[in-house]
Structure 1
Amino acid sequence: MYGFFENPYRVLKLSHVLLIGGLIMLVVGIILAYGCDAYLTLPALVGAHAMTILGPTAIKLGYVMRLLAYNRLRSI
């Protein structure tokens, strides 16, 4: 598991996936939770609100991983 994070190029690719995935989760969550709330069931609405929380979390994790990967690439 830890060997996966030893390669900075792999960490950089994963950070880009997290950044894009977090942005998609945030936008879809906002559209569903606040735009289509009258048409959703309660569990779907709870999931949409959870996406508005988990999306920015993924963006923050991806950004920190990106900074760490660039820092490690600079020292090579």
Structure 2
Amino acid sequence: MFLHHPAPQHLLKMANALMLGGLLLLLLGVSGAYFFDRHLALGTLVAAHALVILGPTALKIGYVMRLLAQRQQALAA
């Protein structure tokens, strides 16, 4: 059975959105965990530190998706 792959343009848009979201999560996490740490409750501080891990993860997944979209575009041409 053949798997249906989304169009490379759609995958590229999703990848760009995921990379932007990952960058925003990273910046939010760094600012919360290291700049506003004295003003945050403990749970919020822990969440900010978690964003420092989750942001780059989303960024890396988006980058791999972007590479796949570019490869699909190259193979289709």
Is this a same-fold pair by TM over 0.5?
Answer: yes
**Which runs of 4 or more aligned residues in structure 1 lie more than 3 Å from their structure 2 counterparts after TM superposition?**
none
With 48-57 and 6-15 compared, the bigger mean Cα shift is at 6-15
Alignment partner, residue 49 of structure 1: 49
Alpha-carbon distance between aligned partners in 2 of 1:30 and 1:6, rounded to the nearest angstrom: 34
Query: Which is greater in Rg?
Result: 2
TM-score where L is the length of structure 1: 0.91
Q: Which residue matches 2:19?
A: 19
Look up the match of 1:34. Answer: 34
Q: Give 1:6 deviation, angstroms.
A: 2.5
Higher helix share: 1
- Partner of residue 9, structure 1: 9
* 1:25 aligned partner, one-letter code: L
Amino acid at match of 2:64: V
How many pairs does the alignment contain? 74
Identity of aligned residues (%): 46
Could you tell me which residue of structure 2 aligns to residue 68 of structure 1? 68
Query: What is the TM-score when the length of structure 2 is the normalising length?
Result: 0.90
Question: Within 1, Cα distance between the matches of 2:50 and 2:29?
Answer: 8
RMSD between superposed Cα atoms in Å? 1.2
